[in-house]
Amino acid sequence: MISNPLLYLFFITILVSIFYLLETKISLRVFKLIPAVVFIYASSMLLASLGLFDLNTEINSIYKQTKTNLLPAMLFLMLLQVDLRHFFKLGKSLLIAYVLAVLSIAFGFIVVAIIFDFSPSISGAFGALAGSWLGGTANMIAVGSALNVSEEAFAYALVIDSVNYTLWVMLLLFLVPFAQYFNKFTSSSENLAYLGDIACACSIGTKRYWSLILLALVSSFLIQYLSTFFQIINTTTTMVILASVFGILASFTRLRDLNGSGELSTSMLYLLIALIGSHAVIESFSGLGLYVFAGGCILIIHALVMITGAKLFKLDLFSIAVASLANIGGVASAPILAAAYNKSLVSVGVLMAIMGYIIGTFGGLLLGNILIGMSK
Residue extents of the structural domains in the chain: 5-375
Residue 219's φ and ψ, nearest 5 degrees, are -65, -40
8 A C-beta contact, residue 138 and residue 358: no
Per-residue model confidence (pLDDT) at position 27:
67
pLDDT number for residue 195: 55
Which one-letter DSSP state was computed for residue 51?
T
Of all helices (H) and strands (E), which one includes residue 72? helix 57-79
d(CA 314, CA 317): 10
Distance CA 122, CA 371 (A): 9
- Helices within 232-345 (DSSP H only): 235-250, 261-277, 288-313, 317-328, 334-341
Q: Residue 112's pLDDT is what?
A: 95
SS3 of residue 232 by DSSP: strand
Nearest CA to 220 among 73, 356, 58, 370? 73
Contact 324, 172 (CB under 8 A): yes
Averaged over successive runs of 10 residues, the pLDDT of the chain (376 residues) comes to 86 89 75 76 83 82 87 86 73 88 95 91 92 88 88 85 86 89 83 54 62 88 88 82 88 80 84 84 70 94 95 90 89 80 77 84 91 86
| CA 90/CA 190 separation, integer angstroms | 12
Phi, psi dihedrals of residue 35, rounded to the nearest 5°: -60, 155
φ/ψ region of 83 (left if φ > 0, alpha if ψ in -120 to 50, else beta) reads: beta
pLDDT at 107: 96
The model's pLDDT over 328-373, given as tens digits with 9 standing for 90+, comes to 987 777 888 888 887 777 778 878 888 888 888 889 999 999 999 9
Question: What does CATH list as the number for 5-375?
Answer: 1.20.1530
pLDDT of residue 207: 67
pLDDT of residue 134: 92
